[in-house]
Structure 1
Amino acid sequence: MKRIQLKVAPDITGRKRLDIFVVESGVGLSRSQVRKLIGEKRIYVEGKGTKPGFILHGGETVIVELPDEVKQFYKPENIPIDIVYEDNYIVVVNKPAGMVVHPAPGNLTGTLVNAMLYHTRLSDEKISGRPGVLHRLDKETTGLLIMAKDTKAHLILAEAIRRREVKREYIAIIWGGVPDKGEIFAPIGRDPHNRLKMAVVPDGRVSKTEYTLVARFSFLSLLRVKLKTGRTHQIRVHFSHIGHPLFGDPVYGGRETHLAGIIPEVRAKAKMLLSLIERQALHAHKLSFSHPITKERLEFQAPLPEDIKSVIDKLIEEEGGGQIEHSLIC
């Protein structure tokens, strides 16, 4: 680990946030990297604050502890990947279940980044800390992702995501019934009881999810879901919070935990449906954005993966559901 001391000028002008100061200091970190290191307490003001918004007044010492380089993790690997669209600047991929987006401790190989580096070039990792990565999907969530191939495209798309100009729509199956339309507005942060999970917490980050009912079954609902913010595990956390966890989700109460609590009359059927899917029933179905260079508006759609489709097919077979749009089940 490399430890850097940054001295804040005693005559600093204006209100300077800690994260902005470090980005502008020349240590070579992006703002997202800085915020991550602050969260890990690797960047802090000596004797004072450790929050990104900490205001510097002049004369402070800022400590930056840089973790060891992880470039060796970015090894190109010949892994098949479903490329939906590609040009000289961007790639849109349809990520399968079971694939992590980028290398990290515990998943150093076999990731989407490893696969894409074998296929093509990606934007420099110094921009976001991970080559080409603009946004992520959970390991067991399937569907569409944009990746950048050069610095200019990366910076433009990252800003578009920050401004919420990149539109993402998911298909989800949840336990229970909900109104035809609704929104969930609840702050998300680390679960204070389990740091590996996220939760709705009072001091969490503002988070908003909108949904529209596609079909209602006896004890499950099929939804279209739109993210208005992009927090880690947002859809899974929000629906678990309102008592309707994603079907099959082992982490947020959508599998054995929920199965044990339902009435015996439907438990056997629910268990049969759970046998068809080993993960949360969540798929990034649609993605639309303006091309970073040509400005053309692009829209992509990924068909449902076989496991989610098999659950829906079985529900339709047993309960009907002719009103479900063909585009969802093809």
Structure 2
Amino acid sequence: MPDIVATPVAVLNYTSVVTTPSEQREFTLPDELAGLRLDQALARLIPEHSRSRIRSWIDAGRVAVAGGAATAKQKVYGGERIVVAPLPDPRRNALVAQPLPLAIVYEDDALIIVDKPAGLVVHPGSGNWDGTLANALLHHAPQLAAVARAGIVHRLDKDTSGLLAIAKTPLAQTDLVRQLQARTVRREYLALAHGVLMQGGSIDAPVGRHPVKRTSMAVVASGKAAVTHYEVRERFAACTLLACRLETGRTHQIRVHLASLKHPLVGDASYGPRHGMAFHRQALHAWRLGLVHPVTRKSLQWESPLPDDFAALLASLRRAR
């Protein structure tokens, strides 16, 4: 199909589709651009960027057509879904030390155990480039600048509280990662779930990215293996306190697994009901952590008391019986 000569009308209609390379944009290619090369079509859609720059994006794999890889020379036919991925934010690699409060439960030359409060992001990312646990750790122990991800070997969601292990050396980090991969690190949580569960059990269901809500996770056949064991600790009129133990550590695993049983966490804005028991965050606390010390090889275990907000919630439920 021959190239189509550019018309200024198409430019005027679509200049707002992609306004900045720092944000991902998705759109459907207008039919009037059919027959153009991909780089030509994108130059019409985003005239504030040069065609050579657009070609560099395509060559770098930042542009996808209909979910697949793209080339600058390929023809477009109209109706294709185009995704332009964001440029890496330069702050992504600029981890800086910040004097933030840390609740340190244990520390030696190889290991730190931190009790993370709810509301604290673990590692910098989009929308949270500073003020994170990683920033605080780097201030507390500057040598963590030589350890990948400031020594953080596993995560907790922003609004989940509790215990986290931090490796202070690359060798300690390698050992702790191996323990996690071997599923020998004991991670136990207290979780308040909607509904009354009569008994405990195990959930063995793969967890992956939600097929529609791309910022959420779900039980999906194409996901990664995920296993959660749970037991009933206490029952209330409309909810149940559970002790959960992870075999694997997938993103949002406990939250997704319990939601898949129709017992989402109280306060979970992503996986719970729109209208339910009022609580300002998901009721989830990493209360026990056990591992083998990466140097001494001793088995160690720590426990964290429930934070005040979670404890107050349980107290109010007990009074209401």
Counterpart position of 1:134: 153
Say which of 117, 130, 143 aligns to 1:109.
130
- After superposition, where does 1:1-330 map in structure 2 within 5 Å? 70=91, 73-123=94-144, 127=148, 130-254=149-273, 257-259=274-276, 270=277, 274=278, 277-319=279-321
CA shift in 2, pair 1:164/1:41, >3 Å: farther
> Deviation per CA, 1:114-148, whole angstroms, max 9, x where unpaired?
01111113545674xx2211000000000000011
Larger Rg: 2
Aligned-partner SS, 2:150: coil
CA distance in 1, matches of 2:143, 2:183: 23
- Contact 1:165–1:289 (CA under 8 A) maintained in structure 2: yes
- Percent identity, please: 43
Structure 1 residue 73: Cα displacement: 3.0
Q: Is the 8 A contact 1:134 1:148 kept in 2?
A: yes
8 Å CA contact retained: 2:195, 2:240 = yes
Counterpart-to-counterpart distance in 2, 1:290 and 1:138: 24
Q: CA deviation at 1:180?
A: 2.1
Following the alignment from structure 2 to structure 1, what is the Cα–Cα distance between the partners of residues 89 and 312? 44
Contact 1:73 1:109 in 2 (8 A): no
Secondary structure of the 2:118 match is coil
Report the secondary structure of 1:194's partner residue.
coil
CA apart distance, 1:70? 4.6
Give 3-state SS (helix, strand or coil) of 1:222's partner: strand
AA matched with 1:305: P
Residues 178-226 of structure 1, C-alpha deviation per residue, up to 9 Å, x if partnerless?
A: 2322111111110011110001111111111110100111111001000
- Determine helix, strand or coil for the equivalent of 1:240: helix
Query: CA 1:182/1:84 → structure 2, altered by over 3 Å: closer, same or farther?
Result: same
The 1-side partners of 2:275 and 2:201 are apart by: 22
Task: Give the partner amino acid of 2:110.
Answer: Y
Task: State the alpha-carbon separation in 2 of the partners of residues 107 and 281 from structure 1.
Answer: 22
Gaps in structure 1 of 5+ consecutive residues: 1-39, 43-47, 50-65, 260-269, 320-330
Relative distance call for 1:155 and 1:318 in structure 2 (3 A) is: same
CA contact (8 A) 1:122 1:147 kept: no
Q: Residue 278 of structure 1 aligns to a residue in which SS?
A: coil
| Partner secondary structure for residue 155 of structure 1 | helix
Whether the 8 Å CA contact 2:196–2:240 is kept in 1: the answer is: yes
Check the 8 A contact 1:121/1:149 in 2, yes or no: no
Over residues 258-313 of structure 1, what are the superposed CA-to-partner deviations in whole Å (9 max), with x where a residue is unaligned?
52xxxxxxxxxx4xxx1xx3000000000000100001111000000111101111
2:283 and 2:141 map into 1 onto residues whose CA distance is 30
Q: Given that residues 124 and 150 in structure 1 are in contact (C-alpha distance below 8 angstroms), is that contact kept between their aligned partners in structure 2? A: no
TM-score between both structures, scaled by the size of structure 1 = 0.69
Kept in 2, the 8 Å contact 1:189–1:203? The answer is yes
- Give the number of equivalent residue pairs: 243
Change (3 A) 1:149 1:182: same
